[in-house]
Each structure stands twice: as C-alpha cells, then as structure tokens.
Amino acid sequence: MTTDTLEPTVTLNTVWPKIRRRAWLTVLVPCTVLLYLAYTWFAFDITGLLAKARPDRAAILATDSVAYKVQVEKNFRSDTFEVAIEGERTATYDNTDLPDWIDLSGDNAVVDLGEGYEIEIDGKTALFTIPNFGVIRGTATETGVETKLPEGPVPDWVKVDPRKLEVRPTIDRRLQITKTKIEVHNYFAGWENFWFPFRSPLYGMSFSELYALALNADRIDPDYSNLWFVVEEFLSNPDWQHGAVLTALFETIMMAVLGTLTAALFGLPLAFLAARNFTPSLVLRFGTRRLFDFLRGIDMLIWSLIFIRAFGLGPLTGALAIAFTDTGSLGKLFSEALENIDNRQVEGVRATGANQLQRYRFGVIPQILPVFVSQVLYYLESNTRSATVIGALGAGGIGLLLVETMKTSRDWENTSYIIILTIVVVILMDQMSSWLRRKLIEGR
Amino acid sequence: MAVAALEQEILSLRKHRQLYSLIGLLLVVAVLVSGYSKANSMNSGGFLQGLSKFFDYPGEIVAEAIDAGPAFFGQILHFLPAMMETLNIALVATLLGGAGAVVLAMASTRNVDSWGPLIPVVRRIMDVMRAFPELIIALFLIFVLGSSPVPAMIAVAFHTAGALGKLFSEVNDNIDRKPIEGLSACGANWLQRIRFAVLPQVAPNYLSYFLLRLEINVRASAILGFVGAGGIGQELRRTIGWGKGAGDETAAIFVLLFITIMIIDQLSSWLRGRLVGSSRAH
C-alpha cells in the first residue's frame, strides 16, 4: 500500500468545468426526454387515437362484467313470448313459471322494472312509463315503428328511427322495438348461472343444500355418486366452462414450471463451459457464450412461433419456447456467478484430496446455490406471466382462451372471470416463489 | 463424551439434509417426467412427430430468403420503421414507467423518510402492478382504444412502474443516511433532501436497472405487437398469416429482431458495466 503525500490540489479551474458540465446535463437531459416524448406523441398519433377511442366500449365491458340481463322478447313473426337470461335458448324460463316482476296475461304483459319504471306490452304496442318524464309509446307496424313521445325536447337516451326505437333511461333498463319484435332488457348485478347451468337440477341451490345433497345416498344420476355429479355439473357448465378454464390455467402453469426447470437443468452445466475459471479453452468458452446470446436473442416470440409450427398447440410448445430462451438467460447469469466464486473454498476441498467431481460438489455448488435458487425462482414467477403471452400467440393455455373470449366480445363476464383467475394465479406464484426464496436462502 | 455426542448430532443433521436434498431432487425429476409426458399428451402435435418437422419451418423460410437473394437485405430495411415503432413503445414505456417507479420508490422506503402509513400501501400497490400480466392490460386497451401502439405502451409502462419500483426501493434501502441527516440539519425539506442527498447516491443503480428493464421491454413490446399493438410484432403476424410465399419477409423480420435485441443487450450491458462496475451489473 502506498500513500500519496502530494494531495491533489483542488482549484477553481478544475472544479468549474465539472460544475458547468453537470449544470448542462441537468438542463439537457430533461429537455431531451421531453422532446422525445413530444415526438412520440405525434409518432403514435395520440391526438387521432383519442378522437377514435371508444370509451363506451369500456363502459359496456364494465357493466357487462358485473351484471347480466334478463331479456323479455315478444316476437311477432313466430308469435312467441320468451323470457330468457342473456337471451340464451338454453336459459329460457317456462312461461308458466316466470320471475315475479313479469305479469303475463295471454299475449300481453306488464314488466315492472322497479323504481316506478314500467313497460306495458299490449299487442304490437309498448308503453314505457318513466318517472319524471312521462310515457313513451312505440308501436310496431308492417313497415317500421311508430313512436309517440311526450311533449318537449327528445333526451339523448331515446333513439328514434323509422325502423327502430331504442329507449334506455338508465343503464340497467332498456326497451327496443323493431317491426318484428319488442324486446325488454332488465339488468341485474352479478354473474348469471355461475355455479350451475340453468337447466341443471342443481340450479339455484345454496351451499348447505349442495353439501347435504353430496352426502345423500339417493343418487340424482344413477351412474355417478352425488358428489361427483355436483363437480361434473359445475365443471361442464356451458356458459362458464369452468373445466376448460381450469385446464387452460393448468396448462399455463405447466408451461412456466416445465420451461423454467428445463432451462435451469441445461443452463447450469453449460454455464460451467462458459465460465473463465472452469473452462480454459477459449474456443469452447466463446462458443458457449455465443450459444447463450443466440438463444436469448432469438427471443421467446420467435421460438414460440417456430415451436407452434413443429409441435402444434399445447403446453409442450410453450414449455419448450420458455426453456430455449431461458437456457440462454439463466446460463449467462450462472456463468457470471461462477466467475465470481471464492477460489479458496475450492482449494480447501482440493487439499483434502478430493477429485474433480468432489471439488465441484463441495467447493463450487454450495457457493452458487443461493444465486441458482433465487434466479430460478425469479424466472419461474416472471415466466408465469410470459406463459400467458405465449399462449396468446397460439400456444394455448389461458392466454389463448382470453384472446378468443375477447374476440367473440359477447360475454364480457367470461372475460373478466378469466382475467381475475389469471391475476390470482400470477399473484399466487409470485407469493409462493418469494416464500420459497425466503425459506431456502435465508433459512426458515 | 461431549465430542462424540456432537459428532452424532452433526451426522444425524447431515443425514437429514441429505434426505431433504434427495426428496427435493426426486420431486423435481418427478415434476419434469410427469409434466412432460402430460404436456406431450395434451399437445395437439406430439414431441416425436414434431421433432422431425422441427427444422421444416426454419428451413422453409431460410430457403425462401436465399431465393430472394440481395432483395432480402432490402426487405430488412423495409421493416426498419416497424422496428423503430417497437423500440419507441419500449423506450416511452420504460421512461414513463421509470418515472412512476421513482415516485413509488420514494414513497415506500423508510430509509428515505417516506411518510410511514403510506409505505405498506404503496408496497402492496406495487405488488399488484407487477402481477398484472401486460397481455391483459394491452388486450383490454386495444379493445377500447383500437389497434395502435399506445395500448402496448401503457400496458408495459404499468408493469414497469411496479417492477422497477420494487428494485428502486431496494436500492433506497441500502443508501447512506448521513447526507440526508446533514441536509435536514441545514433545514432542508423532504423534496430537497431527496434531490440533493438521495438521488445522487442512487442514480447509477437506478440507471442500470432502467437499462435492464429497457432490454426486457423491447422484447415485451415486440410480443405485444403480435396481439395487435403495432410495431414489428404486427408485421410478423401479417407475414406469418400469409403462409407460404411470405417466408422471406418473415425471415427478414426474424433477422431484424435478432440483431436489434443483440445490439440493445450488448449496449445496455456495456453501459451498466460502466455505471456500477461490471461485477454488480447483473
């Protein structure tokens, strides 16, 4: 250790340029960032985007995902009167057993929408009584719709058209008349038919009833035990497809777990080949490092597209795509950890007469084990998120299911159900991996 | 006697440990074996049939790229604007997310005198932000805003704010408190202490994490393009959708993506090495 007796003298001339440079930086850096953001404002055409945005879609999604409608439909063409949940054929009420807010008498009906809102259907005419407004009268004719509104300006929730009348005074009450039918929508909070399908014998049962039923010896279906019947009815619910959703979630988790474990298993031995202190051969080291770069550089996107072509849809495809990319990433991280180990421990083990394998096992592995475990767990949790994206590219799992439900854009409650499940799974994986990390590395 | 007992104890401890390691190892092997056989049966195409086809697709597009000859390089240039768009998405998202992360980190670390009751709240918020898969936010925003780079940008920025916020607050935990105390002795308020005592200490580490995140976000934005968020991903989806005949364009996109990711990787690891010293760069 040498001591410098000549302290470097600090003069104004050495300090000023530094201060000036720093001052310039504090001005220039924020200015550049702002300029760049301004440029991207135009590059992304945000003004045009805001003009084209459809906030009404967000509102539909929000209402539809927390509410469902019961549809009352009078069809003149087939001369039928139908009350159905979400207008689904599979969830149509029997006309002798209607909900009590509908009063059916012959061909005519009175629908009580609550809070003073009431619709009276009389032949081809519907009378919509709206509190503090008046009565809207719409009649279906051979050519279109005749509308009679109370005096005064037309509010914006009434859409009058010669061919169609639409009245929606509140977001949860709606009347539509065309020349062929009168439709009334009454919205209710919640998810319809979530547990069991409408036609199921279990529809509308409470948990305690189900519990009692499951333990009951009298079988509903002679082929299955009651417990199995309940589970089966739940999983095969046609509206919600719990079975399919759970399978898809399982596939996604499988992709993440298998992919990460495989990457770790292949990354570790390869990392030894890429570490300076373990592989003296320059060619081998260089080759392995470039292999890591190649695997990482190709990226999960391209790997999954290639694997989808070769192996088709499914968890195997996703697992392999994750495994290939992360062998590169984990291999690089492990080789850096290997290069930073303390050589004295290895020498200590060597001094006891250990052979090569024993030196690795007792001198090296214990040193990199914390890095190994913590990185693998980090990757596991981030891969759970990646697996949903890979799924959306076409590998299957919850990602694909989500994209498909969104594309049909009909039942938004299904979309929110999938979104909620996905987030729950990701958070659970996150919690589990940090718990494991704490347990394994910091010790209990 | 005592020594013998101690030895006995150590031996039994070691046996336990070996047992646990063995169980752990067996568990991993079991998960792998059963997982792969299950995955193989759930996949629409099997592993063995697929293996023979594995090189078909890459081979096909490489052949088409070779057929295209020198025009292939023109195609790479042709897709450069789309790649720039993807890079813009990633950079803007990282900038906005990073700015959000600094705020979140400053509000959630005891070491920099954040307001106490806020700390656990902000930490939970960051956990939730991190857990939200980008795909979900992007798909939702694409539905509302239409197909454009902005949904991807917002989705990536949201996730980035949570992820970087956590890393930044870990950096904050390890700083030296002396400058903060010195400044408060001069009567500096909280913002002044953050500006003159905290930021100079954490800036190199923040920048390093920022660059690491940028690297990750470039990949993420490329992938999100594939579900309709613009940029190179969307082009890729188009050329792949065309099937046979567009193989050279697909190959051009693959090459462009690969080169860009490599350049950004190398650049950011070099810069990070300079910022915090190579040993702490990862």
pLDDT in tens, A323-358: 999 999 999 889 888 888 888 888 898 899 888 888
Q: Distance, in angstroms, between B258 CA and closest chain A CA?
A: 5
The verdict on a CB contact (< 8 Å) between B265 and A385 is no
Residue B235 C-beta-side C-alpha neighbours within 13 Å: 25
Least confident segment among A425-434, B169-178, B236-245: B236-245
Q: What is the pLDDT of residue A139?
A: 83
Q: Which CATH superfamily is domain A242-441 in?
A: MetI-like (1.10.3720.10)
Sign of CA dihedral A33, A39, A43, A44: positive
The whole-angstrom separation of Cα B83 and Cα B253 is 9
How large is the average pLDDT for residues B122-143? Answer: 86
CA dihedral A345, A346, A348, A350 (to 10 degrees): 170
Give me the pLDDT at residue B281, please.
36
Q: Give CATH superfamily name and number for B64-280.
A: MetI-like (1.10.3720.10)
Q: Which of A181, A152, A192, A184 is nearest to A168 (CA)?
A: A184
Give Rg (Cα) of chain A. 34
Backbone angles phi, psi at A125, to 5 degrees: -115, 140
Residue with tokens 């052949």: B63
Digit-coded pLDDT (tens) for B212-254: 899 889 988 988 888 888 888 888 888 887 766 677 888 888 8
Contact across the interface for B127 and A422, Cβ inside 8 Å? no
User: Between vectors from CA A332 to CA A330 and to CA A336, what angle results, nearest 5°?
Assistant: 115
Residue A203 banded pLDDT, cuts 50, 70, 90: low
Q: What are phi and psi of A68, to 5 degrees?
A: -135, 160
Distances (CA, A) of A366 to A34, A279, A353, B22: 49, 19, 18, 16
Question: Chain B residues with CB inside 8 Å of A300's CB?
Answer: 219, 223
The alpha-helical segments, DSSP class H, found in chain B are 2-42, 47-53, 56-68, 71-78, 80-106, 118-131, 134-145, 149-173, 178-185, 190-193, 199-224, 232-241, 247-276
For the stretch A90-95, contacts whose Cβ atoms lie closer than 8 Å and that sit 24 or more positions apart, written own/partner, are A90/A197, A90/A198, A90/A199, A90/A238, A90/A239, A91/A192, A91/A193, A91/A197, A91/A198, A91/A199, A91/A239
> Which chain A residues have a beta carbon less than 8 Å from that of B85?
43
Share of chain A above pLDDT 70, in %: 90
**Spatial contact of A69 and A185, defined as CB atoms under 8 Å apart:** yes
The mean of the pLDDT values for chain B is 85
| Nearest beta carbon to residue B88 from set A43, A315, A319 | A43
Using the predicted structure, report yes or no on whether residue A222 has a pLDDT greater than 80.
no
Per-residue confidence (pLDDT) for residue B248, from 0 to 100: 82
CA distance A379 to A260: 7
User: Domain boundaries in chain A?
Assistant: 61-189, 196-234, 242-441
Q: Identify which of A76, A196, A303 has the alpha carbon closest to the alpha carbon of residue B222.
A: A303
Q: A237-296: per-residue pLDDT in tens?
A: 777 778 888 888 988 998 999 999 999 999 998 998 888 888 888 899 889 988 998 898
Write phi, then psi, for A237 (nearest 5 degrees).
Answer: -55, 115
In the three-class reduction of DSSP (H, G, I as helix; E, B as strand; rest coil), residue A88 is classed as coil
Burial of A427 (0-12, 13-18, 19+ CB in 10 A): middle
Q: What is the mean pLDDT of chain A?
A: 82
Beta bridge partners of A175: A167, A184
| A68, burial (CB in 10 Å: exposed 0-12, middle 13-18, buried 19+) | buried
**Beta-carbon separation of B128 and A409 below 8 A:** no
B146 vs A254: which has the higher pLDDT: A254
- Which residues, in sequence order, are bridge partners of residue A111? A102, A119
Q: How far apart (Å, rounded) are the C-alpha atoms in residues B34 and A13?
A: 71
User: How does pLDDT run across A71-87, given as a tens digit for each residue?
Assistant: 888 877 777 777 777 76
State the average pLDDT over residues A20-33.
89
A388/B136 touch (CB, cutoff 8 Å), yes or no: yes
Of the partner residues A46, A297, A317, the one whose CB lies closest to the CB of residue B261:
A297
Note whether A145 and A162 are within 8 A (CB): yes
* Binding-face residues of A in 73-102 toward B, CB within 8 A: none
| Predicted ipTM of the assembly | 0.83
Of the pLDDT bands very low, low, confident and very high (cuts 50, 70, 90), residue A444 is: low
The domains of chain B are located at 1-32, 64-280
pLDDT (average), residues A303-323: 87
SS3 B79: coil
Please give the DSSP secondary-structure letter assigned to residue A150: P
Q: Report which of residues A213 and A109 the model is more confident about.
A: A109
Nearest CA to B40 out of A258, A94, A68 is that of A258
Distance (Å, rounded) from C-alpha B25 to C-alpha B173?
35
How close does chain B come to A165, measured CA to CA in Å?
A: 26
Mutate to test the interface with B, among A262, A385, A401, A412 (most CBs of B within 10 A): A385
In 3D, which of A349, A263, A304 has the Cα closest to residue B257?
A304
Q: How confident is the model at residue B1 (pLDDT cuts 50, 70, 90)?
A: low
pLDDT digits (tens, 9 = 90+) for A356-411: 888 888 888 888 888 888 889 989 988 998 898 888 888 888 888 888 888 776 66
Q: Determine the pLDDT at residue B182.
A: 92
A40, B130: Cβ pair inside 8 Å? no
Q: Which of A96-105, A257-266, B72-81 has the highest mean pLDDT?
A: A257-266
Residue A353 — φ and ψ, nearest 5°?
A: 90, 20
Inter-chain contacts counted by CB atoms under 8 A, chains A and B:
177
Over 80: is that where the pLDDT of B3 sits?
yes
Q: What is the per-residue pLDDT for B217?
A: 92
What whole-number distance in Å separates Cα of residue A119 and Cα of residue A139? 13
Structure tokens that stand for A53 in this block: 């945005």
Residue B270 CB neighbour total at 10 angstroms? 13
pLDDT at B93 over 90: yes
Q: Which residue of B has its CA nearest to A50?
A: B145
**The A125-130 sheet, strands edge to edge:** A102-105, A108-114, A117-122, A125-130, A134-140, A145-148
pLDDT band at A202 (very low <50, low <70, confident <90, very high): low
Closest Cα in chain A, distance from residue B158 (Å): 14
Task: Say yes or no: A439 contacts chain B, CB-CB below 8 A.
Answer: no
Please name the helix (run of DSSP H) or strand (run of DSSP E) that holds residue A416, with its range, or none: helix A412-441
Main-chain dihedrals φ then ψ at residue A189, nearest 5 degrees? -75, 150
A34 touches chain B (CB under 8 A): no
* Alpha carbon of residue A243 to chain centroid: 17
CB atoms within 10 A of CB B205: 20
- Please state, in angstroms and rounded to a whole number, the distance separating the CA atoms of residues A101 and A175: 15
To test the contact with chain B by mutation, choose from A36, A260, A301 the residue with the greatest count of B C-beta atoms within 10 A, namely A301
Scanning A226-314, the segments in alpha helix (DSSP H) are 226-235, 242-274, 282-311
Query: pLDDT tens digits, residue range B60-75?
Result: 878 888 887 788 888 8
Residue with the larger pLDDT of the pair B104 and A194: B104
Inter-chain contact B240–A430, Cβ cutoff 8 Å?
A: no
CA angle, A332 then A343 then A292, to 5°: 10
H/E stretch holding A419 reads: helix A412-441
